[in-house]
Amino acid sequence: MKRDISKKEEVVSTTVGEVLYQKMSNYARKGLEGAANTQRAYKSDIKSFKNWCAENGQTELPASAVTLAAYVSHLADTHKWASINRKLAAIRKLHELNNHDLPTKDKGFRAVMEGIKRSNGVRQKQAPAFKMKELKAILRGIDTTTNAGLRDKCLILLGFSGAYRRSELVSLNIENVEFSEEGAIISLEKSKTNQYGEFEEKAFFFSPEADFCPIRTLKSWMARLEYTIGPLFVRVRKGDKITDERLNDMTVYETVKKYFGERYSAHSLRASFITIAKINGADDSEVMRQSKHKTSLMIQRYTRIEDIKKHNAGSKLGL
């Protein structure tokens, strides 16, 4: 009898052990994989690396230092420094998930990377910022009698005044909007800098001019939606019919280009908020409260003050 009980306890112990081990494995993989947006970005980079390895007779996993050096040399002909490093990050993630180390500390590989850096430079192309005059002209020209036009105007106004990334903008929900006498508070469950669901809010205020007011425009758009819970920004189909299908982040990219021109991107909304706010006297802490950047260094990087004659200490030397 004692033996039977002992066996049962052993089975239970083993079962619990397996369950906990599986749970631990799942948490570990989740931690290594990172955010959903990061996973999507890495997917195409990993696919490209695997295809290149297959075409060139190289082993993809684990990749040798020689394979890695050859791959980045191949990329250097057509890719900028930032893109090469992003692809390396994807390959590193692939190796981590399969319990392999990526030989990026190899002296030969590091020499190749240094050579690429010296040859091609490291300057990263930044999304240009527009001026307030340009923004107002574009907003005036949008036909808000149509559902598509009103949605686009609301998308642009919130994207700019909220300093949102495009993935954040399309993830907003109606139930996350709270209006008040001053304007509105919009909360966001997760973002690039908020991966763990901490409470994150952004404030929006009434504008003296109705044409440029994010609050009035938002209220008008929400009044046209036939539901009170769900995605804030949705597709508008043929016949100007509003659906309940959430927009994807590529739609924000296309919308900005449609109204602002090809040289601008979705990130121009965020960059323009920071630049215009700084020009108008906002300090870094005020900007960070809306942009949710963690450091002032990032604010300086995102600020697009391009007129070196207008914004230059050389004019303030008293000479």
- Go through the domains of the chain in sequence order and give each one's CATH number: 35-124 (1.10.150.130), 132-302 (1.10.443.10)
Q: Is 261 left (phi over 0), alpha (psi -120 to 50) or beta?
A: left
Query: Residue 19 has what pLDDT?
Result: 65
Greatest mean pLDDT among 16-30, 109-123, 246-260, 272-286: 246-260
pTM for this one? 0.63
Element housing 203 (H / E): strand 200-205
Q: What is the pLDDT of residues 156-206, one digit of tens each?
A: 999 998 888 888 899 999 999 999 888 999 988 754 444 444 567 888 999
Residue 34 has pLDDT above 70, yes or no: no
Q: What is the pLDDT of residues 107-157, one digit of tens each?
A: 999 999 899 888 876 555 667 778 889 999 999 999 999 999 999 999 999
Residue 282 has pLDDT above 60, yes or no: yes
Query: Residue 8 has what pLDDT?
Result: 44
Catalytic residue set: 165, 192, 267, 270, 293, 302
The span from the CA of 88 to the CA of 90, in Å, is 5
Distances (CA, A) of 221 to 145, 147, 152, 191, 232: 11, 8, 10, 24, 9
